[in-house]
Structure 1
């Protein structure tokens, strides 16, 4: 996968069940709006080193935050450094909602 994916590309991954999807919004953002994209599991972005080992390395990982900015980029960098094939959702959950997903 590339560094970023579109809402449509993420939907295709969800439909094919071919990727692990992680919600990496900051805890305060997640608590304010705890809904997630179906099939995603929330992980605290500030604790990426603690939970990264739980992710399977044999399949791609898609992550998203609120707007696809600094949080996604920092988690992307951390997971890439650990050898994961990871992409983040362009525009984050806001883009997912805007796309009617």
Structure 2
């Protein structure tokens, strides 16, 4: 009975912790349709592909014009991110966790026009929007 109680407490703790993390990462997303419309309208923006190297090796395609940048690199170079245009971030994480975390970091550093792409490159692909193949060895 003691083990069952401890297990129930652990599961409750993990559930509450996950909900708190998700609440912290709650930030306005942009949909694939909205991003495509912005691109079609010629709106200036910066799109950043934050996927990990193994994710890129498994799926070597990116949204046209996206800049590949590791999360750590974005943290170090946030001062180079333009403040006069929209910045769209995407990753391969559940709930866009990395993109949301980086968007919050950029917002704290004064970049207010930043949003994660809801569903990432997979949502883009599901809409049959164009993709660019990354060169061999690019990760």
TM, length-normalised to structure 2: 0.64
Q: 1:56 to 1:31 in 2, by over 3 A?
A: same
TM-score (norm 1): 0.86
Query: Which structure has the greater CA radius of gyration?
Result: 2
SS across alignment from 1:21: strand
Residue of 99, 122, 129 corresponding to 1:72: 99
**Unaligned 5+ residue runs, structure 2?**
1-26, 130-139
Q: How many residues align?
A: 100
Q: For 2:77, what is the secondary structure of its paired residue?
A: helix
* Greater helix share, structure number: 2
Distance in 1 (alpha carbons) for counterparts of 2:108 and 2:54 = 26
When the two chains are superposed, the root-mean-square deviation of aligned CA atoms in Å is: 1.7
- State the partner residue of 2:132: none
Matches of 1:9 and 1:3, distance apart in 2: 13
After superposition, residues 41-56 of structure 1 pair within 5 angstroms as 41-56=67-82
Point out which structure has higher relative CO (alpha carbons under 8 A, 6+ apart): 1
Q: Is residue 90 from structure 1 mapped to residue 113 from structure 2 by the alignment?
A: no
Contiguous gaps of at least 5 residues in structure 1: none
